[in-house]
């Protein structure tokens, strides 16, 4: 988990120019009686005065929270794995037609790593070294994943509009952080929380609470959740009464017991919707 600085909670407040990176912390918590907002930017530390009746709800209008899934939401994890698997097959002179089998076994990353490794070893163990299989599963996606221009621009717009953006992802810490850093997402969000690090997986509420309270020192109230998984992302948001946007990737919604607040074709559109609705 990427933590906020200990002296100033790393919560971006609306900045006036592209060079400022402004952080805010409220004296005594989010319901300060003095209403004084301490800010820091590249010019130093200063103070902005808020009305004395400022509440946590009011502050969320200034620094709203956006909780974003990583795989197949911010980045196309499946495309990256497909490319890595194709390279793996070509490198070891294996049939191109096996690509469908490999991606089916992977199941968009939902198959446990040890099960994928066992399946690949059983099929290719006589001609492919174990180290090559391990490298595919440990580094393949991170080495090939990309962040689209539209996703990058949407995150930049969210930050310019004062949003605090946090990635919330299930997975192994080393691999997920490699994806975040390799794509430059670490420069576009205020933090991230990974299930292996906090020992809780979406849709468990603890991981969303960790993303808000421990990562950027904000309450969950008023946050938006954006993700592609009905179960992990949208059900998790619904259980906590949070607004959500489901990224469809062309799929129809099929759940009856809960619904997303909104449906979007891709993450850039989803972020844009959250920004417009919060105003």
220-232-207 Cα angle (round to 5): 40
Pairwise CA distance, residues 86 & 95, whole Å: 10
Q: Is residue 105 classed exposed, middle or buried when 0-12, 13-18 and 19+ CB atoms within 10 A define those classes?
A: middle
The pLDDT value given to residue 53 = 47
- List 40's β-bridge partners, or say none: 23, 45
The pLDDT value given to residue 231 = 96
The pLDDT value given to residue 277 = 86
Pairwise CA distance, residues 56 & 104, whole Å: 46
- Which segments within the chain are labelled E, that is strand? 23-26, 36-41, 44-49, 65-68, 164-169, 191-194, 224-227, 243-247, 262-264
Mean pLDDT of successive 10-residue stretches along the chain, which has 279 residues: 44 32 33 34 32 47 84 98 98 98 97 97 97 97 97 96 96 97 97 97 97 93 96 97 96 95 97 89
Question: How many CA atoms are closer than 13 Å to the CA of 121, on its beta-carbon side?
Answer: 12
- Rounded to whole angstroms, the maximal C-alpha distance in the chain is 72
The pLDDT value given to residue 2 = 66
The pLDDT value given to residue 3 = 53
The pLDDT value given to residue 1 = 67
Task: Give me 240's structure tokens.
Answer: 């906590």
Pseudo-torsion of CA 88, 91, 92, 94, nearest 10°? 70
Nearest to 146 by CA among 117, 179, 170: 179
The pLDDT value given to residue 278 = 74
* Sheet strand arrangement including 243-247: 191-194, 164-169, 65-68, 224-227, 243-247, 262-264
The pLDDT value given to residue 203 = 97
Pairwise CA distance, residues 65 & 68, whole Å: 10
The predicted model scores a pTM of 0.80
The pLDDT value given to residue 226 = 98
The pLDDT value given to residue 49 = 39
């Amino acid at each position: 988990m990427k933590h906020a600085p200990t002296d100033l909670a790393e919560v971006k407040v609306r900045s006036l120019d592209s060079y400022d990176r402004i952080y805010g912390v409220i004296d005594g918590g989010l319901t300060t009686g003095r209403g004084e907002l301490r800010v820091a930017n590249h010019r130093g530390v200063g103070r902005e005065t808020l009305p004395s009746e400022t509440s946590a709800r009011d502050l969320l209008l200034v620094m709203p929270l956006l909780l974003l899934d990583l795989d197949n939401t911010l980045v196309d994890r499946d495309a990256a794995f497909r490319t890595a698997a194709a390279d793996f097959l070509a490198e070891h002179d294996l049939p191109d037609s096996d690509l469908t089998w490999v991606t089916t076994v992977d199941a968009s990353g939902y198959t446990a790593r040890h099960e994928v490794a066992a399946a690949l070893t059983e099929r290719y163990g006589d001609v492919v070294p174990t180290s090559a299989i391990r490298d595919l599963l440990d580094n393949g996606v991170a080495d090939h994943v990309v962040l689209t221009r539209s996703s990058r621009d949407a995150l930049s717009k969210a930050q310019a509009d004062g949003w605090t953006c946090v990635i919330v992802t299930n997975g192994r810490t080393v691999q997920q952080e490699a994806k975040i850093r390799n794509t430059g997402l670490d420069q576009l969000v205020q933090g991230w929380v990974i299930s292996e690090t906090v020992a809780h997986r979406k849709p468990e509420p603890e991981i969303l609470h960790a993303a808000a309270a421990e990562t950027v020192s904000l309450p969950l109230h008023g946050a938006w959740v954006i993700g592609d998984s009905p179960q992990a992302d949208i059900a998790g948001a619904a259980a906590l009464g949070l607004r959500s946007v489901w990224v469809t990737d062309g799929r129809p919604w099929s759940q009856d017991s809960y619904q997303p607040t909104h449906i979007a074709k891709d993450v850039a559109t989803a972020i844009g919707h959250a920004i417009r609705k919060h105003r």
